[in-house]
Structure 1
Amino acid sequence: MNKLFSIFIFSLFLIPFSYSQTSIFGKWKTIDDETGEAKSIVEIFQKGDKAFGKIIEILDKEKPTPVCDKCDDDDPRKGQKILGMEIIKDLEKDDDEWDDGTILDPENGKVYRCKMWVEDKKLIVRGYIGISLIGRSQTWLSVN
């Protein structure tokens, strides 16, 4: 009986570890797909049945408070600080991935359709226009 209880308690400690390795939710270090440089920390969270993400840390200390000056004029994020900005919106769960949402690239101000999934403990983020074949992907690293 005591051994069974010990196994049960040990398994409780494994649940959050395995969840964080397979879930998109948590904190992720963004890696620029062109330069390979770490850019920011994005926290992905759930509101209702959708996923959202905001920038919680800027890693480039030379630009500690950049603003989204290239966002479209009709985007309410135009001129706003990138730190704290919600850049991922309205992703919906679809089997092992989240899609049908959008992601903003604050460096160029463009909003792309977005899908993401976890692969080998890394977050694959795909931004695209039209069909998902026309776009680019980034691999983000967990900081949990």
Structure 2
Amino acid sequence: MKKNILLATFVGLFFSGNVLAQDLSGTWQQIDDKTGSPKAIIEIRKEANNTFTGKITKVTPRPGYTPRETCNNCPAPYTNQPILGMDVLKGLKYVEGTHNYEKGRVIDPLAGKIYDAKVKLSASGKRLTLRGYVGISALGRSQTWLRLD
């Protein structure tokens, strides 16, 4: 009887941790792929349609950099939208049985460009790699984001 309870507890903890590691929801520190400096704080939330959306909640000050306040040369509906509070990541869908999310879109508010996006979440759930690309994944750049919560 004690063995069954212990086994059930272990299995429950194992699977609940696994589920949490697969959820992107939370607060993330965006790291600049060129300089390695923190860029912004992004809050990712799960939408009713089971996709994930990421919003800029804070722009991180960096030495020698004056942050922009509005989206630069951005297409509608982002035209002249404030960067703070902007949904920069949209439509990511979880790929069943993996730590991957695909079919998203990400906007670079400094360049005004929209890219296809996919994300790979680390096994621990504390780090993600976002790949923004045009057409095929090989034609893009990756950024690392660190979970803050």
Which residue matches 2:141? Answer: 136
CA contact (8 A) 1:54 1:86 kept: yes
Which residue matches 2:43? Answer: 43
**Structure 1 runs, 4 residues or longer, greater than 3 Å off:** 17-22, 61-65
CA displacement 1:61-116 (0-9 Å, x = unmatched): 764661102213xx211111100000111111213211111000111110000000
CA distance in 2, matches of 1:54, 1:38: 16
Q: How many residues align?
A: 137
CA contact (8 A) 1:20 1:26 kept: no
Which residue matches 2:116? Answer: 113
Which residue matches 2:79? Answer: 78
CA offset at residue 19 of structure 1?
Answer: 5.0
CA distance in 1, matches of 2:85, 2:58: 8
CA distance in 2, matches of 1:18, 1:99: 19
Which residue matches 1:89? Answer: 90
The TM-score, its normalising length taken from structure 2, stands at 0.78
CA distance in 1, matches of 2:115, 2:67: 25
Instruction: Give unpaired runs (5+ residues) of structure 1.
Output: none
CA contact (8 A) 1:40 1:58 kept: yes
Which residue matches 1:59? Answer: 60
CA offset at residue 20 of structure 1?
Answer: 4.6
CA offset at residue 60 of structure 1?
Answer: 1.6
CA contact (8 A) 2:59 2:84 kept: yes
CA distance in 2, matches of 1:129, 1:56: 26
**2:114 alignment partner AA:** V
The TM-score, its normalising length taken from structure 1, stands at 0.81
CA distance in 2, matches of 1:65, 1:110: 15
Structure 1 range deviating more: 95-104 or 79-88: 95-104
